[in-house]
Amino acid sequence: MKAQNRRAFLKTAAAVGTAAAGLSTSTAKAGPKNILAPDRMGVLVDTTVCVGCRNCEWACKTAHGLPAEPLETYSDRSVFNEMRRPNEAALTVVNEYVNPKNRDLPFNVKVQCMHCDHPACVSACIVGAFTKEENGSVIWDTDKCIGCRYCMAACPFQIPAFEYLKPLDPQIRKCDFCIERTAKGQLPACVEICPVEALTYGPREELVQLARQRLKTYPDRYVNRIYGEYEVGGTSWMYMAGTEFADLQFPKLGPTPAPGVSEAIQHGIFAYFIPPVALYAILGAIMWMTKNSKEEGL
Amino acid sequence: MHPNMKPTPIKAKFFTPGVFVLCLLALNGLVFLAGRFFFGLGSVTNLNDQYPWGLWIAVDVAAGVALAAGGFTTAALGHILHREDFHVILRPALLTAMLGYTFVAIGVFVDIGRWYFIWHPLIMWNGSSALFEVGICVMIYMTVLYIEFLPLVTERFIGKVNLPGALRFLNRPVDTLLRLLDRGLGKTMFVFIIAGVVLSTLHQSSLGTLMVIAGPKMHPLWQTPVLPLLFLLSAISVGFPMVIFESMLASRSFGLKLEMDVLSKLGSSVAPILGVYLAFKLGDMFIRETFLYLQELNTASVMWTVEVVLGVIVPLRMFLSRAVLRSPVLLFTASALVILGVALNRINNFVVAYTPPYEFGSYFPSIGELSVTIGFTSLLVLMYRAYVMIFPVISLPDSASAPKTKYAIRGGK
């Protein structure tokens, strides 16, 4: 990845520069952990393979200690009549869309946090409760969160959910990429249970290659695009589809990272505290001069 | 400048029919607020996963911060530019800002899910978060406002500390403390005054950065990288109209004579500031060619038009007219329009412009949300009334003022 190299170079250059000035970057920049490791993991979701069994919904709830109905009840396909979104009680849901080419083979789309490479939530969170981990997952620290819900306003995929009906200790809930399971070497719960291998877990770089290979081998099966490869600067979860992504209700997003403009403005206003200090000095000077001129006038 | 004008606690009956109504409204708001603390945010508000922010953030917090801008704009005018002729409005503006920011803080406190963690940003930092910057600046600025208000407390109570009953032995120490504060503050106040202006410039603009990160979720009529500048300019432009508005309300409520010459002079500088704001707002619109969205007829285009025409262009034209500046009714109307325009701008930015990618229904504030916002506003007015009756905030002709005990005592020390 070219951007990655340039980024790494800039980081090194900045580190050398500030070290020379007698400062270390770690103390100069307060902020949450936001790592973009070259070998970060991801999941490739092939919506043309998914059969809508919703076993992943059950596995996710079970893995996260959320109340779940018995697995048999998940074969009920009537839930597909309405579009559903992940919420505080379900971190992932599967939706169904009509296949214009073959009505008997509908498209099923699993929805969960995309685990962005440049997450808006990590940038936005007032207390830095969100972090982008080395393995690619974007997770949330319950001990820090103040419940301001700025992450929800910032997220381009409308993923974080909030427990609105809890007066005490309400949680922000979203997919955590099964960070506890993967730390133990297990697969994410949804990937593990998927009976048709619609979900492929692996290093993101390899998944991109895999997806490109599939696009090349079966050009008729897919639209020629990997959703998440470039959207908002790239996401750890990526999708392949047999129809336009807009028809599957994927948001139309550009290639610029979601926090990009906001952070540029923020760091511009506060560039090493020079603008505020300069403003303070100017105002002080004006105050002093007008006072003197008043006294001379008297 | 009236050399014989002196800030004096107002002598009046606190309870009037109007005050009674405000008390009822405040009580009603507090009842709904109790629901929020016992049954969660969702039980009182119409907020959900699609619309995480609603009326409380848009009005109590964003509009509240903007409308408290009278504090730093008049401080810059009176203390930094040393315009002595405006001194009679400094204290009312300071009080409005102080109470305004207090209610902004309370507004944040009730809106965040974990109110008991409101202090977290003090020790858990995220330099890239616009909200973090707003939070920290607002906290510091509120402290600065309370410090700027301290001289009014010392002026009122030095030599007059009279604690009831068992606390009487504290009279002397408290008096000494007040005198110490008075002497220390007199020499250092300029530090706080400049800091107040700098902090205001910072967080008024960062409040505009907040929604930039929402990207395409925000309607292009409002979403622009220059939002911070527009927020700052609109906050500066609403500062003086807000001072005019509340001076007139206070004068009417207490039956005082209007300081029309000061208010007209203040009003005459509104038009240029409002003009700069309008120029940037329209300039940004033409550069990004968002005027195309005005061809459609929908909530966004109507709200934008109302905001800009009624809230900026009409009052701008009014403030340019000498007849308006001289007429109390017209000056009041023009000021009210600017206030309405800026409040509407904040509502538009935080609520109207926000369209979630997956929408299950539109957002409109619940009865509970409206009740709490109205209740807080009523409480603010009640507190303002109480403060001007206790502390020397509003200037009166000297003959009507209380005996000058303070100066007698200070002269003797």
pLDDT recorded at residue A268: 80
What the block records as the tokens of A76 is: 């009920």
pLDDT recorded at residue B402: 46
Burial of A75 (0-12, 13-18, 19+ CB in 10 A): exposed
Q: Are A223 and A291 in a shared domain?
A: no
* Of the candidates B35, B8, B48, B3, the residue with the CA atom closest to the CA atom of residue B375: B35
Asked if the structure places residue A3 within a domain, the reply is no
Judging contacts by C-beta atoms under 8 Å, the chain A residues touching residue B124 are 127-129, 144
Q: Verify whether the Cβ–Cβ distance B121 to A126 is below 8 Å.
A: yes
Q: Verify whether the Cβ–Cβ distance B112 to A127 is below 8 Å.
A: no
Q: What's the mean per-residue pLDDT of chain B? A: 91
Q: Are A231 and A268 in a shared domain?
A: no
Judged against a pLDDT cut of 80, whether residue A132 lies above it is answered with yes
**Total domains in the fold of chain A:** 2
Q: Tell me if chain B has a CB within 8 Å of the CB of A274.
A: no
Residue B10's SS3 state is coil
- The CATH number given to whatever domain includes residue A245 is 3.30.70.20
CB atoms near residue B397 (< 10 Å): 13
- Give how far A214 is from chain B: nearest CA, Å: 29
Chain A interface disruption, residue of B129, B131, B355, most A CBs within 10 A: B129
> Which of A88, A150, A265 comes nearest B228 by C-beta?
A265
Structural domains of chain B in order of their starting residue, each with its CATH number: 55-365 (1.20.1630)
Give Cα A246 to chain centroid, integer Å: 19
Q: Are A158 and A76 in a shared domain?
A: yes
Pick the residue from chain B with its C-alpha nearest to A172.
Answer: B113
Lowest mean pLDDT among A23-32, A89-98, B244-253: A23-32
Q: Are A280 and A249 in a shared domain?
A: no
Q: Are A274 and A237 in a shared domain?
A: no
Q: Are A209 and A286 in a shared domain?
A: no
Q: Verify whether the Cβ–Cβ distance A170 to B357 is below 8 Å.
A: no
Judging contacts by C-beta atoms under 8 Å, the chain A residues touching residue B112 are 146-149
Asked if the structure places residue A18 within a domain, the reply is no
Q: Which of the 8 DSSP states describes residue B218? A: B
Q: Tell me if chain A has a CB within 8 Å of the CB of B281.
A: no
pLDDT recorded at residue B3: 56
Asked if the structure places residue A93 within a domain, the reply is yes
Q: Are A198 and A270 in a shared domain?
A: no
> Which domain covers residue A197, as residue numbers?
23-258
Q: What are the tens digits of pLDDT across the range B198-247?
A: 999 999 999 999 999 999 999 999 999 999 999 999 999 999 999 999 99
Q: Are A209 and A290 in a shared domain?
A: no
Q: Are A280 and A134 in a shared domain?
A: no
* Residue A84, C-beta contacts closer than 8 angstroms, at least 6 positions apart: A90, A93, A95
Q: What are the tens digits of pLDDT across the range B142-199?
A: 999 999 999 999 999 888 888 887 888 888 888 999 999 988 888 888 899 999 999 9
Interface of B with A in 116-145 (CB under 8 A): 117-118, 120-121, 124-133, 135
pLDDT recorded at residue A43: 97
Interface of A with B in 104-123 (CB under 8 A): 120, 123
Q: Tell me if chain A has a CB within 8 Å of the CB of B54.
A: no
Q: Are A164 and A38 in a shared domain?
A: yes
Interface of A with B in 207-226 (CB under 8 A): none
Judging contacts by C-beta atoms under 8 Å, the chain B residues touching residue A291 are 82
Pick the residue from chain A with its C-alpha nearest to B37.
Answer: A167
- How many angstroms separate the CA atoms of A110 and B106, rounded? 40
Asked if the structure places residue A96 within a domain, the reply is yes
Buried b (16+ CB within 10 A) or exposed e, A103-139: eeebbbbbbbbbbbbbbbbbbbbbbbbbbbbebbbbb
Asked if the structure places residue A11 within a domain, the reply is no
Q: Verify whether the Cβ–Cβ distance B36 to A154 is below 8 Å.
A: no
Q: Verify whether the Cβ–Cβ distance A154 to B37 is below 8 Å.
A: no
Q: Are A286 and A165 in a shared domain?
A: no
- Give how far A213 is from chain B: nearest CA, Å: 31
Judging contacts by C-beta atoms under 8 Å, the chain B residues touching residue A145 are 113-114, 117
Q: Are A225 and A267 in a shared domain?
A: no
Q: Tell me if chain A has a CB within 8 Å of the CB of B111.
A: yes
Q: What are the tens digits of pLDDT across the range B18-62?
A: 999 999 999 999 999 999 999 999 999 999 999 999 999 999 999
Q: What are the tens digits of pLDDT across the range A265-291?
A: 888 877 778 888 889 989 988 888 888
- How many angstroms separate the CA atoms of B413 and B410, rounded? 5
Q: What are the tens digits of pLDDT across the range B336-368?
A: 999 999 999 999 999 999 999 999 989 999 999
* ipTM summary value: 0.89
Burial of B86 (0-12, 13-18, 19+ CB in 10 A): buried
